[in-house]
Amino acid sequence: MGPQSAPATLPAALYRADPDQWRREREEIFARSWQYFAHESQLAEPRQYVAETLAGYPLIVVRDEAGVLRGFHNVCRHRAGPLADEGGGTCPGQLTCQYHGWVYTLDGRLRAARDFGASEGFDPRDYGLLPVRTEVWRGLVFVTLDPDAAPLANWVAPLERRLAGRDWSALRRVAVRQHSMACNWKTYVENYLEGYHVPLVHAALDAEIDSARYTVTMDGRVAIHEAPLRAPNPVYDGLWAWMWPTLGVNVYGVGLMIERISPTGPGGVRLDYIYLMPPGVEVSDETMALSDVVTAEDVRIVEAVQRNLDAGVYDTGRLSLRHETAVAAFQQFVRAALV
Ligand code: FES
Ligand SMILES: [Fe+2]
């Protein structure tokens, strides 16, 4: 048998800021997958909450009075007001809409429609908050809008297999860094899924790792990078993984960094780097500085790629079977989600 043929890429039109395409991706991809939402330490006590907008869905997760984690759309059932600003904290045992003051219990029931007046046929029991599923894996709180999504444990099983023996129970959230860029989320994810660009884009990183032996392997919805070091170096050592559609998990010798690739719309991405470390360990300045350099190099190239995709001269290319099989798998997931 001769060599397989290199797969064609997705057409450039799918990467442009098209509102209809973005609506389909939100509904078919982001609403149907598990998204990293928060670290359990942010929600350790009853009444603690975190509010975040993921892929255009404003969400809130709160630990209720009975200790149960509850997820909701951060959207009041009266006229769509917000229950909480983005961020987190401790609420006073109920959620009060900021617009007209409807009050909800922490398990999502409408307790009081403030000064609403008499209304025949208005039953508060019909106007509870819209729930969202939450599950926890190794202290990481995930949400999905899909009542039928497979359990989170199924999704993360390929990661779990590679983490056997590592204990994350004492990790704390020690630092958060954010970076914004002007590109479609798929442009960034694809860059994340191959090491082919390392020798051209990341000179300092390339000096440390053996790019010729850089591989990315798919296992279910998870991609695992293997980048052998030229010489032992704890700053670069670790397990780099990705899970469909937009989660990076970078496991270091101690602790880890969650990389959440959050689309802010069809043409923008915010990266949230969340560093989780054991007690007494901070993220070294060297690790932060290195991460900033590599991120800046990636942002520069993906923004240039996005401008070229937007220019309208390029439609589709071909993917290397040696280096870009994870990109091909990602593009297959996108195709399958959007049929
Ligand atoms: S929108 Fe929430 S009380 Fe009116
Ligand atoms: Fe890169």
- Give residue-wise pLDDT tens across range 146-190: 999 999 999 999 999 999 889 999 999 999 999 999 999 999 999
Indicate if the pLDDT at residue 318 is higher than 80: yes
Helices (H), the chain: 19-28, 152-162, 185-192, 198-201, 203-208, 285-311, 325-338
The mean predicted confidence, pLDDT, of the chain is: 95
pLDDT for 78? 98
Residues 124, 138: contact at Cβ < 8 Å?
A: no
Name the residue at shortest CA distance from atom 4 of ligand 1.
Answer: 100
Partnered with residue 226 across adjacent β-strands are 215
Mutate to test the pocket of ligand 1, among 75, 94, 97 (most ligand atoms within 8 A of CB): 97
Q: Which ligand is nearest to the CA of 103?
A: 1
pLDDT band at 326 (very low <50, low <70, confident <90, very high): very high
Higher pLDDT, 40 or 239: 40
| 1-34+150-339 matches 44-148 in fold | no
pLDDT (0 to 100) of residue 235: 64
Task: Reduce the secondary structure of 156-220 to three states and give it as a string.
Answer: HHHHHHHCCCCCCCCCEEEEEEEEEECCCHHHHHHHHCCCCCHHHHCHHHHHHECHHHCEEEEEC
CATH no. for 1-34+150-339: 3.90.380.10
To the nearest 10°, report the CA torsion of 141, 184, 196, 332.
70
The pLDDT score that the predictor gives to residue 299 is 98
Count CA within 13 A, CB hemisphere, residue 288. 11
Angstrom distance (rounded) from CA 306 to CA 325: 21
Ligand nearest to the CA of 301: 2
Cβ of 76 below 6 Å from ligand 1: yes
- Cβ–ligand 1 contact at 82 (below 6 Å): no
The domain spans of the chain are 1-34+150-339, 44-148
Q: Does 79 sit in the ligand 1 pocket, CB within 6 Å?
A: yes
Distance of CA 321 to the CA centre of its chain: 27
Distance 82 CA to ligand 1 centre (A): 8
Taking only the tens place, the pLDDT of each residue in 83-134 is 999 999 999 999 999 999 999 999 999 999 999 999 999 999 999 999 999 9
Residue 1 confidence class, pLDDT cut points 50, 70, 90:
low
Which ligand is closest to the CA of 296, given by its number? Answer: 2
| Mean pLDDT within 219-232 | 91
d(CA 47, CA 4): 56
| Yes or no: domain 44-148 corresponds to CATH 3.40.50.300 | no
**pLDDT for res 2:** 67
pLDDT score, position 165 = 84
* pLDDT number for residue 92: 96
